[in-house]
Amino acid sequence: MSAPNKSYDPVEVEALKPEQIERMRDEALAAFAAADSLDALHEAKVAHTGPTSPLALANREIGALPPHAKADAGKRVGQARGAVNKGLAARQAELEAERDARVLVEEAVDVTLPYDRVPAGARHPLTTMMERVADVFVSMGYEIAEGPEVEAEWFNFDALNFGPDHPARQMQDTFFVQTASNSGSAAGKGADSDGESGVVLRTHTSPVQARAMLDREPPVYVVCPGRVFRTDELDATHTPVFHQIELLAVDEGLTMADLKGTLDHMVQSLFGADMKTRLRPNYFPFTEPSAEMDMLCYVCKGESVGNPDRSCRTCSSEGWIELGGCGMVNPRVLTACGVDPEKYSGFAFGFGIERMLMFRHNVEDMRDMVEGDVRFTRPFGMEI
Ligand code: DAH
């Protein structure tokens, strides 16, 4: 900055010469015009309007001028700065408009694009069916109980009163599991293959009954859904891996009437208020007496029996659909599981979920349930 000087002529101060001021203004305007982005414009703005810009420095010189020269120089610098600010604002508006237009194109969302390229899945109907049945009992206060799929032979058979040579042991066609302790005997004899490993893939959910009784003090009210295994070939009506649901109630004074009432309540909850069950004598080692349980055909309600005009696919016009097995828990089972049969009695039943799914939804081939084709599962997707 020059020192105050009374005889000072602004024209003499280099930075305040009119052509210099014009040059500064024109350079600023040219820099703004050349800025091709808002960032570049910001740099040009700092360079040409900031505190160290040529025009700002020139402006500072004015203070050192004699009073008569101040107005003239001030006017010139002021006009130049005004033009620069105007030019800046105009370019700023231009670049912002360009940016907004570009963002609209670049960040556009095509709301017409399909949104469902990843189709919604569906829970497997076996799962929903099992939960549906279990819920009937949970709402009555039963507890869900689970046991291992790889089960001790003792729980699967012995605790349930299957004698060592009981034909059911073969009848059930069991998968015996090779375990570390029995896999490599010195004689090279695989104990698993002749059924001596003591470990099986459970052939039914009934071993959970024994576990539940050993785990708790009576009264016991449990429902046990789960996967079971038998050495069947996979075909339209068999699968080596399938599902059962088991029920066990142990309390003082339970009778066959409680079993019957519970079964009726279950089929009414699942299939409608006018449903009922019937029991036919049968034999299971772990129940005495034992029965086969049938439910009224929920489609024809028995009306197809002896009525050729009203044949029923669901029950083959038999009026009843076979569900599974049931009975009063054999006192020997109670004893094996630490429950006093003099004080307590119990009832139990078990049935297959695949079968229920087949007749409830007219699934004709069991393989559809295991093959994992979503075209089978998806129609069940609306069931919760
Ligand atoms: N565990 C039997 C089976 O797999 C079914 C069964 C029968 C279960 C009678 C029971 C019962 O609880 O009481 O064939």
Domain that includes residue 322, residue range: 125-149+202-380
- Please tell me whether residues 89 and 220 are part of one structural domain: no
| Beta carbons of 360 and 234 less than 8 angstroms apart | no
Rounded to the nearest angstrom, the distance between the alpha carbon of 88 and the centre of ligand 1 is 89
115 domain residue, yes or no? no
Tokens of 13: 């101060």
SS (H, E, C) the chain: CCCCCCCCCCCCCHHHCHHHHHHHHHHHHHHHHHCCCHHHHHHHHHHHHCCCCHHHHHHHHHCCCCHHHHHHHHHHHHHHHHHHHHHHHHHHHHHHHHHHHHHHHHCCCCCCCCCCCCCCCCCCHHHHHHHHHHHHHHCCCCEECCCCCEEEHHHHCHHHCCCCCCHHHHHCCCCECCCCCCCCCCCCCCHHHHCCCCEEECCCCCHHHHHHHHHCCCCEEEEEEEEEECCCCCCCCCCCEEEEEEEEEEECCCCHHHHHHHHHHHHHHHHCCCCCEEEEEEEECCEEEEEEEEEECCCCCCCCCCCHHHCCCCCCCCCEEEEEEEEEECHHHHHHCCCCCCCCEEEEEEEEHHHHHHHHHCCCCCHHHHCCCHHHHHHHHHCC
**Token code pair at residue 310:** 């009203």
Q: Can you say whether the dihedral through the CA atoms of 349, 353, 355, 357 is positive or negative? A: positive
- pLDDT score, position 66: 81
| Exposure class string for 191-200: b at 16+ Cβ within 10 A, else e | bbeeeebbbb
What is the position in ligand 1's atom list of the atom closest to the CA of 206? 1
Q: Mean pLDDT throughout 308-334?
A: 95
- In CATH, what number is assigned to the domain containing residue 350? 3.30.930.10
Listed residue (245, 251, 286) closest to 263, CA to CA: 245
pTM value surpassing 0.75: no
Can you name the residues that pair with 348 across neighbouring β-strands?
248, 327
Ligand 1 mean position, distance from CA 350 (Å)? 4
* The domain boundary residue, chosen from 74, 106, 138: 106
| pLDDT tens sequence across 251-272 | 999 999 999 999 999 999 999 9
Residue 381: the pLDDT is 79
**Ligand 1 centroid distance, CA of 244 (Å):** 9
The residue contributing the CA closest to ligand 1 atom 12 is 349
Whether residues 142 and 43 share a domain: the answer is no
List the residue whose alpha carbon is closest to atom 4 of ligand 1: 204
Q: Which atom of ligand 1 is nearest to the CA of 286?
A: 13
User: Is the same domain home to 231 and 372?
Assistant: yes
The share of the chain scoring above pLDDT 90, in percent, equals: 70
Residue of higher predicted confidence among 93 and 12:
93
Of all atoms in ligand 1, which is nearest to the CA of residue 287?
13
Mutate to test the pocket of ligand 1, among 204, 238, 351 (most ligand atoms within 8 A of CB): 204
**Lining residues, ligand 1, CB within 6 Å:** 204, 206, 246, 284, 287, 324-327, 348-350
Asked whether residue 240 falls in the same domain as residue 372, the answer is yes
| Atom nearest to 248 CA in ligand 1 | 12
Count of structural domains within the chain: 2
142 with 21, same domain?
no
The answer to whether 364 is a known ligand-binding residue is no
Q: Are residues 208 and 295 in the same domain?
A: yes
State the residue for tokens 């699967």: 156
pLDDT score for 328: 98
* 309 assigned to some structural domain: yes
Instruction: Calculate how far, in angstroms, residue 204's C-alpha sits from the geometric centre of ligand 1.
Output: 7
Question: Do 29 and 137 share a domain, yes or no?
Answer: no
pLDDT the model gives residue 265? 97
Cα of 174 from ligand 1 centre, angstroms: 15
- Cβ neighbors of 33 (< 8 A, separation 6 or more) are 87, 91
232 and 97 belong to one structural domain: no
Q: Which residues pair with 222 in a beta bridge?
A: 143, 248
Whether residue 179 is contained in a domain is answered as no
Mean pLDDT of 287-305: 95
- Rounded alpha-carbon distances, angstroms, from residue 28 to 47, 62, 85, 221, 329: 8, 20, 9, 90, 100
Same-domain pairing of 85 and 227: no
Domain co-membership, 93 together with 227:
no
* Residue 262 to residue 248: CA distance in whole angstroms: 11
The residue whose two tokens read 């004899």 is 189
How far, in Å, from the CA of 327 to the mean position of ligand 1?
Answer: 8
**Does 221 share its domain with 317?**
yes
Q: Are 370 and 111 in contact (CB under 8 A)?
A: no
The mean pLDDT value of the chain amounts to 89
Query: Sorting pLDDT into bands at 50, 70 and 90, what band is 155?
Result: very high
Each residue of 13-69: pLDDT tens digit?
777 888 889 999 999 999 999 999 999 999 999 999 999 999 898 888 888 888 878
From 201, 284, 328, the mutation candidate for ligand 1 (largest count of ligand atoms within 8 A of CB) is 284
In a domain, 100, yes or no: yes
- 71 occurs within a structural domain: yes
Same domain, 102 and 129: no
Q: Mean per-residue pLDDT for 320-342?
A: 97
